[in-house]
Amino acid sequence: MDSKGGVYENVVAQFNAAADLMRLDPDVRKILARPMNEVTVNFPVKMDDGRIEVFSGYRVQHNNALGPFKGGLRYHPTVRIDEVRALATWMTWKTAIADIPMGGAKGGVQLDPSGYSQAELERITRRFTFALGSTIGPDYDIPAPDVNTNPQIMAWILDTYLSTIPPQQRAASFHVVTGKPIELGGSVGRDKATGQGLVYVLERWARDRNFDLAGATYLVQGYGNVGSWTARLLKPHGAKLIAVEDHSGAIANPDGIDPDDLQAYVAAHGRLAGYAGGTAIDHATFLSTKADFFVPAALENQITAETAPLLNVRAVFEGANGPTDTDGDQVLAAKGIEVLPDILCNSGGVIVSYFEWLQNKRSEFWELEEVDTKLFKRMTSAYERVQAAAHDYGVDWRTAAYIVALRRLEKVYRERGIFP
Ligand code: NAD
């Protein structure tokens, strides 16, 4: 499975379709049509063998009308400025739909982390953070984990950032990144938050349709943070994971694959290939497996004009950002497959990141029950806002989600006005 180009074109097409439909204020449209700031840094890092490698890193800040820029950092060979631009833009819509006082940003470094030692990854992360300098800041722009980044990487960012500011400000600046290890001010429940939010959406969708999750079958693409947590949290509902794919291949088992057992295998081996609980299948077979729903939780542009015709499911719940391109959307609509979009489904991550940020600012530690209860409320009200817009405008879930986001941003710009 390759991540194809043109991902920013998808965001622009989605934005234009919704803006036309809801008659977005033309001035606000001009502002939201492009990111506010784009930073590219090329920085040298010493490798274990003494060689120097130069890496390209990016941070795109799309919009901060609602609050500080917020969004993950990705380490992947496909990271390019237009991909980061797209991901930053989706973050603006996501925070607006989730109704949290934050804007949208995204960043990353173009590299394949599997080719580097832990010590090299630490130096890359620290040098990247140093190169970003005051581009990030606890009340200005707050990174978080994304593809191939994790709490350890957030800890290195935190330590590097704190080392560059005056000692008197350090204790009050831990909220410069979220998704940190718990001991460093991370929030309980952040690790599973994106999967948990998606499962809350799924539960609600199932309830609205009198659809029984017990015995329901599903496919997951990507078995990292989002994919594995989604599957593990669906297990108590009795839903059956019958096929799963990651960067190493795909496996199927019509009797069901145990999500916890698979997670333990992937944690030990770094891939699902070789797992004994399923039979290896190819990409096309994976996509055409008949199931009740599909959770793409890997990379963007996976459901396209070529692949969408293969899908044999009732609904798609987008865990990944941008897994469906505009052609893919049209094919799914024609096939009657409902698509619950990324900017609604995967917002649990940024919502709990916001909770972590708040806890750090207030020097508090919340219990898991409090985090989950607050996440549930936010996911549910976001779902209901999008559902209402879909009903009012007679549109699909994605367009409705855009309408909710754009309405909120339009209102804020109307009230604030434009300086000077
Ligand atoms: P991750 O690095 O933990 O996992 C990524 C998974 O995708 C891995 O299983 C990997 O093997 C798989 N993958 C990579 N390339 C693949 C390929 N070519 N074919 C099939 N599978 C492939 O990343 P993650 O944090 O789980 O993020 C996954 C998606 O969810 C991304 O689109 C990310 O932007 C989005 N997302 C993540 C969060 C979060 O909180 N981590 C929040 C919102 C959205």
Catalytic residue check, 106: yes
Quick one: DSSP state of residue 279? E
Tens digit of pLDDT for each residue in 5-36?
589 999 999 999 999 999 999 999 999 999 99
Asked if 200 and 375 touch (Cβ cutoff 8 Å), the reply is yes
Tokens 């009903």 identify what position? 391
Taking the centre of ligand 1 as the mean of its atom positions, its distance from the CA of residue 414, in whole angstroms, is 37
25: left (phi over 0), alpha (psi -120 to 50) or beta: beta
pTM of the model: 0.97
pLDDT band at 2 (very low <50, low <70, confident <90, very high): very low
Asked if 170 and 136 touch (Cβ cutoff 8 Å), the reply is no
Closest C-alpha to ligand 1, atom 15: 247
CA-to-CA dists, residue 322 to 34, 46, 87, 205, angstroms: 17, 34, 8, 20
DSSP string, 332-388: HHHHT-EEE-HHHHTTHHHHHHHHHHHHHHHT----HHHHHHHHHHHHHHHHHHHHH
Which residue in the list 4, 70, 94, 106 is annotated as catalytic? 106
Tokens (6 digits) for 212: 């029984």
Closest C-alpha to ligand 1, atom 30: 320
Q: Exposure of 189 by Cβ count < 10 A (0-12 exposed, 13-18 middle, 19+ buried)?
A: buried
- What proportion of the chain, given as a percentage, has pLDDT over 70? 99
Tens digit of pLDDT for each residue in 296-318?
999 999 999 999 999 999 999 99
Tens digit of pLDDT for each residue in 31-67?
999 999 999 999 999 999 999 999 999 999 999 999 9
∠ CA 367-374-402, nearest 5°, is 145
Choose among 208, 203, 251, 267: nearest CA to 230. 203
